[in-house]
Amino acid sequence: MRKNTQACYYSDYLQLDKLLDAQAMESERHGNPAHDEMLFIVTHQAYELWFKQMLHELRSVMSLFEGETLDDSALATTVHRLKRFTAIQRLVNEQITVLETMSPQDFLEFRDYLVPASGFQSVQFKELEIRLGLRRDQRTEADRQFFYARLKDEDRQYLLDLEQQETLTCQLDRWLARLPLLEFDGFAFWEHYRKASQAMLDSDEAIIRNTFDGDDLKVQLEELDGTRARFAALFDEAHYKQMREEGQLSLSHRALMSALFINLYRDEPLFHLPFQLLTTLMEIDELFTAWRYRHVLMVQRMLGSKIGTGGSSGSDYLRRNTEANRLFKDLYAISTYLLPKHALPALPEAIKKKVGFSLG
């Protein structure tokens, strides 16, 4: 048999010579080797490798969304890849447990050598945030400042260019808005929904009036008025536009209505995949937020109230980002508008057929 000189060899294929030679400890360079710095470097490198894979999935999903239509098999691929994205998120969230085996005092052995480097210079992390749809105006003032001030010029430019491109949130909006779910021949769904939601709110009001009195009653009725206003905005595009301008909602009116419809009729086979897509996106947000919380707690444990190596206020700065840097918030807002199944009309057969399995 002829010998294959090009045969694949494990360490060559994986370029392990480069990969395993890339753990240069700053503490060693300063002549004061700190045992735990290896764990610190390997953990961060493992994160960056997983970020690379997450971006690979995200970019592929975004290229599927780019076209004028998203057929069923593309939708299935999208959901599959985004679910892989969340599986990686779960894995990396757990990596914090490994890093926390380093004691705060052991961290102090090498921490000062790292200044002014910091996790907020992770371009891949920022790219994930931007591509998913985190807007610059959403970021806290401190986040905005650090974001642009602490990066190398080429990294800053790369991210600024990315901010000009379409995000997954925009693509989701376009897809939802073009689904044929808002107008049906001979089936006045949205009129039925408006009446059913009105009846639900009237019943809520009756329960409140029977249960509370005095100041409690006043507070509860004010809350209910707020909910009534949010429902009213669904049927009044000008009001909806105003809520959007105030930043209360970001999806377009059509997109939100379609997402609501999918949620209301998620048991219909037709809506299984679209519903999975919407829930997977919410999961991505939840898992990012869970990572941010765990990271804040780890930072508190390691630093107490010390500032970060990058110069931020440390855990306070990160806690504020955790609240501000949420994604796909509108998909959570949809729960406000859900009605119980028994209050919904069954979809007429003709409509099920008309919409078919290829939605958009």
Interface residue with ligand HEM among 232, 243, 303, 339 (CB under 6 A) is 303
Residue with smaller CB distance to ligand HEM, 98 or 229: 98
Q: Per rule CB under 6 A, is residue 175 in the interface with ligand HEM? A: no
Q: Per rule CB under 6 A, is residue 314 in the interface with ligand HEM? A: yes
Burial 78-110 (b: 16+ CB within 10 A, else e): bbebbeebbeebeebbebeeebeebeeebbebb
Q: Per rule CB under 6 A, is residue 311 in the interface with ligand HEM? A: yes
Could you give the C-alpha distances from 106 to 28, 44, 296, in angstroms and in order? Answer: 14, 17, 19
Residue with smaller CB distance to ligand HEM, 318 or 331: 318
Q: Considering only residues 261 through 300, tell me which ones interact with ligand HEM, judged by CB under 6 A.
A: 295, 298-299
**CB of residue 69 to ligand HEM, shortest distance in Å:** 36
AA letter at 57: E
Choices 27-35, 81-89, 271-279, 313-321 (CB under 6 A): range interacting with ligand HEM: 313-321
**Residue 250 contacts residue 327 (beta carbons within 8 Å):** no
Structure tokens at 12: 């060559």
Residue with smaller CB distance to ligand HEM, 261 or 317: 317
Q: Per rule CB under 6 A, is residue 321 in the interface with ligand HEM? A: yes
Closest listed residue to residue 104, CA positions, set 315, 299, 313 = 299
Could you give the C-alpha distances from 100 to 39, 47, 90, 174, 289, in angstroms and in order? Answer: 10, 15, 17, 42, 19
Q: Per rule CB under 6 A, is residue 360 in the interface with ligand HEM? A: no
Of the CA atoms within 13 Å of residue 64, those in its CB half-sphere come to 20
Counting beta carbons within 10 angstroms of the beta carbon of residue 346, is it exposed (0 to 12), middle (13 to 18) or buried (19 or more)? exposed
Q: Considering only residues 90 through 119, tell me which ones interact with ligand HEM, judged by CB under 6 A.
A: 99, 107, 118-119
**CB of residue 139 to ligand HEM, shortest distance in Å:** 9
Number of residues near ligand HEM (by CB under 6 A): 25
C-alpha–C-alpha distance, residues 92 and 210, integer Å:
49
- Interface mask toward ligand HEM for 123-162; x: CB under 6 A: --x-----------------x-------------------
Instruction: Catalog residues that contact ligand HEM under the rule CB under 6 A.
Output: 43-44, 47, 99, 107, 118-120, 122, 125, 143, 295, 298-299, 302-303, 308-312, 314, 317-318, 321
